[in-house]
Structure 1
């Protein structure tokens, strides 16, 4: 079922707006989402670089009689004016760096591969998170592998550990989220062994609303499977009900509540280096 309350990604857009605009939007927000406002983590902007009027979209900014639009504030606006300092690259206000299998920082032109100095992970220089990049080789981290949601920790699994082998994966492991994270940590991806399933907020931070199918920067996340398939959502860690957990669909950039026994994708994350 589709999430009905505004998410972290929604607030990214709101809080990149001028203060006057925020006050117009906030009274409409369902109060259950308000705790998200207290988050002290840096925010990515939305990626939106154009403006709209009543009849048209993707217009050059500013638009007469329609001031204070998303693209006119925040990191995206600074990038459009060539005033944003970045560590790496990326569309609009996003700032990503490619990281090698051995953990070293690579130039933007680096190619993906299995060698020590080949690209294997992407670091978000705004949020500080380091993200797994999937392979396309039929191995453990193949982009087409899917998994059921499973977490044996009773304190965080919402009262139901989930399902241990309901996915369709390669790599010789049980096709569930817990087993996959354990296997990746055993191999030490990008020199690290503390990879985990991301929170919903963390996954949402990658959504680029200027893009569609996929709604993510493919220069730094080129590893999405066929988006015409139903299974295009990535699992997150939160479980707020016994049988369901949150997932993010990067075709259009939306959150959904998925049955834990359903077969979904995984992109692991860890704190930045």
Structure 2
């Protein structure tokens, strides 16, 4: 039996906390979402989150409102501004299965009894891993899962703003050739299967700060969008013959590219193409 709550129930307070004190969160509503296809854009400044992944500076990402958006934005009358902060964090939220007994193998890695596990989907893992590799330090691609499973815990952690402190994060590339991720506590440590491998990463905050050091050297928003688009397409092209997610994205991408004459500026098509990938791969594109 999986956690008592759905992934969406976990995502909302998680993303809300990740923005910490900056209050830089965009929840665009149905009209905006219908034109741009995004649910939310965040600036994650929670110190524990970034510390978990070993980053020392917050990444720059892309400043959306520095770009002109052509016909799509005019349809809305440009009555509201786009987020004026950067985007560089891609999260795939997972709903874990709580387990009460640890195998002898897991006990050897410090597991006692209560722990959690989520399954890794082959096609999704492959495409996320490929994109993460291509983007290098431009974006951090991670799985996030709660280290709790009851509705009572979800409500209590949400009210206390302790969802991040009670969640487990792991980079997608760490789960290469694995089918499951097992963990018994919050943070960035756990055991990956099939061939058991104990993984303990630097803190999430540290990871994002490290990515930020690279971002400071690449502050051109237009170039960042072009790079995200280019690397995503190249990653999908390499695996499209056997990966249905990559094949489907490239099919939709081809249709989008046929509309390039409608877009007034290059940044618009780059943004739309990368955001399309996030929707197909079921990633949340966040701002940090």
What TM-score bracket applies, with the shorter chain setting the length? Answer: under 0.3
Q: TM-score, normalised by structure 1?
A: 0.27
Q: TM-score, normalised by structure 2?
A: 0.26
